[in-house]
Structure 1
Amino acid sequence: MDALVATHQKPKKRLFTGNTARTARTARTARTAVTFALAGAASATAFDGIGHAEPALTPAQVKAKVDQLYHDAEVATEKYNGVKEKADNAGESLNELRDEAARRTERLNAARNGLGSLATAQYRTGAIDPAVQVALTSDPDQYLERAAIADRAGDRQAAAVTGIRQQLGEIEQLRGEADDRLDELKAHQKDLHRHKSKIKERIGAAENLLSRLTAEQRAEYAQEDGHGASTAATASGADWSDRSGRTATRSNRPPQAPTSRAGQAVSFAYGAIGKPYVWGATGPSAFDCSGLTQAAWKAAGVSLPRTTYTQINAGQRVSRSQLAPGDLVFFYSGISHVGLYIGNGQMIHAPRPGAPVRVAPIDQMPFAGATRPA
C-alpha cells in the first residue's frame, strides 16, 4: 500500500542525482508489486464469484421455489385486493362529497341571489328602512298592513342571512372531508403500487425459474396447482372423469348443496372451471382465488368482501367435519388462499398464474378454517 501511495505522489526535487538509476529500479519494482497485487485481487474476486454462484437446481427444487414465489405473490395479491377495495371506497366517498358540496354551493348561490334582490329593492326605494316607510303612510289600514309585511320581510332577511352563514359552514366542512378522502385515496394508491410491484416481481422470478426446466417438465408443472400437489396425482381418487372436474362418473356423486343459494354458488364455480387465473380479477373471464369465491356467491345474491382474510369472517364458521357444498375453505396461517367446497373433500379454486380454475382436494394445502356465507 505504501508503494502504491508512493507512485501517486508528486516527485520531490532531489538535492543529489548520483542515485538516479537505483531510484528508477526501485520505482519499477514497486509498480510491478502493485500490478501483481491487483491481479491477485482480481483473480481472488473471480474465484469468489464462482464459489458463490447459485448451484444447479434439480427440477424438484425449481418447482418448490416456484411454488413459494407464487404463494408470496398470492399473499401480496390479497393485500392488493384489500387496499384496492379501500381505495375504491375512498374514491366513491370523495365523489359523493364533491357532488354534495356542488349541490349545496348551488343552493347557496340561489340564497345569495335572493338576498341580493331584496337589497336591490331596498336601494330602489331609497334605501329607507321598512319601518320608516311604514311610518310615513297616512292611511291607518295601510299602515297596519305595511307594518306586518315589513316585519315578515325583516324576519325573512335575517333568516336568509343566517341560512347563508350556516350553508357556508356546511360547505366548508364538506370540502374538508373531501380533502381527507383525497389524502386517504392517495395513500391507498401508493400502497397499491407497492403491492403491485411485489406481485410482478414474484411472478417474474417464478417464470424465470420455470424457464430452466425442459418443455416436458414445464408441461408437468402446468398440471400442478402450485400448492405442493399435482392435480394429475390426486385426480385418481376423485369422482371426476377428467382433470377439469366437469363430469361426475362414479356412484358417489357430490352431495347436494344445503341451500338453493349454496347450490347457485357451486353451479357458478363449475361454470368457471378452465378460466385463467389473473391476480386482481373478479370475472367473468378470469379470476384470482378470492375473486372466484366472491363472484360465485354474488351470483347467488350474497355480497362477500373482497379478500381472503375478510371473507373468512363473512358468515358462520364451520369445522372441517361439518363442511357442505358452497362453504368457503381457507388455507395457510395467513389466510392467503380460498376455494369453494363442492363435497367429497374437493373444492373448486383459482390456484395461481398459469393454472386455470379447477377442481382440487382440500388436503393439498394447510387447512386454516371454513365459513358458510349467509
Structure 2
Amino acid sequence: MIELRNVSKVYQQKKRQIEAVKEVNLNIEAGEIFGVVGYSGAGKSTLIRMINFLEPPTSGDILINDQNLRELNKKELLLTRRKIGMIFQGYNLLSTATVYENIAKPLKLEGVAKDVIAERVAKYLALVGLTDRKDNYPAQLSGGQRQRVAIARALAHEPEILLSDEATSALDPETTESILRLLMKINQELGITIFLITHEIEVVQKICDRVAVMEEGRIVEAGPVIDLFTRPKEETTKRFIGSNDSYGVPEDVLAAYKGTGRLVQLQFIGDEATEPVLSRVAKDFALSPNILSGTIGYLKEKRHGQLLVQFSGGEEADFLAAKDYIKSQGVLIEEVC
C-alpha cells in the first residue's frame, strides 16, 4: 500500500545542512493502522508530509499502490493526493465558513457535482456524529468537535489513506479517547489505511496494529505493537513504553528485594491476562508470590497485564519449576534482579 525506500530529507539552513529524516524504510499494509512515535524533533512531521509529497524527499522513493510519486507529473500527483486525506493538530478550518461549508468547499474546487457534495457532507457528518452542527461555525465548537469536522472533511474526498499528524495532542484525555475510537471505526468500517505520527505512546497502544519508533531522523525499531510493548530491544523504545520504571515502586522499597534473584516481571497477553497463574504457583510450588505493583490495559483490543512480583519461600528448584510453568501458560517472565 505505502512503501518508503531509503527515504531521506535534508534541509539547507544558511551554511548548515539539517538531516531531518535519514534512510527510512517502511512498508504499510492496506487496511492497517500504522503509527510512528518519537520525541519532539525526531523527524516525524517531516516523514508524514513526505508520504503525500507535501515535502518531496531529498533522496529515496515513496510508492503508493506500487506507483512511485517521484515519477508523477503535477496532474498525476494531484490525482494521487486526492486519495490521501490528512488531519492536523490545528484542525485548519476556515473560521468564516460553517461546518457544512468547510467540508464542501474543497469538493467544489475539485469540480464535484453539487448533489454529490451534499450527499458526502451528510454521510461523513453522520459518521463523525455532527449532523446537528452543520450550520455552526468553528468558534461555536469544542476542540474535539472541530477535529471531527476536520476528519469529515478529509473523508469527503473518499481517500484510500488517512494521514494523522499529531491529531490528538491538543485535546484533553477524554476527547482524545473519543477521537481514537472514531479513527478505529473509520478504519474498520471504511477499510481506510491510517498512518499516524504521535509523541503519545498511549495513542499507539490503543489503536495501532504496528508501530515504528523514531529518533534523530531514523527508525530505530519497528514491528507489531504487542512485540514492541512486551519485548522492546532498543533503549529509546524502552523509555517510551516505561519498561524500566518498575511501575513506580519507590527505590527504597525496591531495594529490599534486589539481589534475591527472585524479583521478576510478568506480562500477561490476551486470555492469559485473566488466568489465575499466581494462585496455581502458590498452591503447587510452595512459593509465596508478593505483588509489588502492576497494571492492566489493552494493546488495541488485546488485554495486556504487567506485574512486578517477588517470590519467597521454597527451594531454588521450586522457583525454577515455577518459572517453567509460568512460561508454559503463555506468560512472559523476566528476572529483574
TM-score (norm 1): 0.21
Of Structure 1 and Structure 2, which has the larger fraction of its residues in strand? 2
Q: Which is richer in helix?
A: 1
Instruction: Flag the structure with larger Rg.
Output: 1
